[in-house]
Amino acid sequence: MTLHSQPEIELHPAFAWDCEECGKEVFCRALVDDELTKAVNGVMGMAETLALEEEPTGGIALKVPTRVECPFCGSWFPCFPQEG
C-alpha cells in the first residue's frame, strides 16, 4: 500500500506527565480553547499584514489543568506548564 492511498490522520494535542507516586507515564488529551485560538490567530494574521521578518504560522491555545489525577493509582498533583 502506498502512502497516497492511506487516509490522513488528525493529530490531537496532549499532555504527558510522570506520576510521582507510582512512576507511571500518563498521557491525556488537551482541551483546546477555541475562542482564544481564534483571537491569537487573528492577531498573528494582522502581524503578517505588517510584513514581519518571520512569517506567523498560527497555532492553537490549550487549557492547562491546575491539577491532575493519576488514572493508575488515584494520586492528585498540582501542575504547571513546561517552560521553554
**Cα-to-chain-centroid distance, residue 31:** 8
> CA 31, 22, 74: angle at the middle one, nearest 5?
55
Region of 18 please: left (phi>0), alpha (psi -120 to 50) or beta. Answer: beta
When pLDDT is cut at 50, 70 and 90, the band that residue 3 belongs to is low
| Bigger pLDDT: 4 vs 6 | 6
Which pTM was predicted?
0.62
pLDDT tens for 20-64 read: 999 999 999 988 888 877 776 666 554 444 444 455 556 788 888
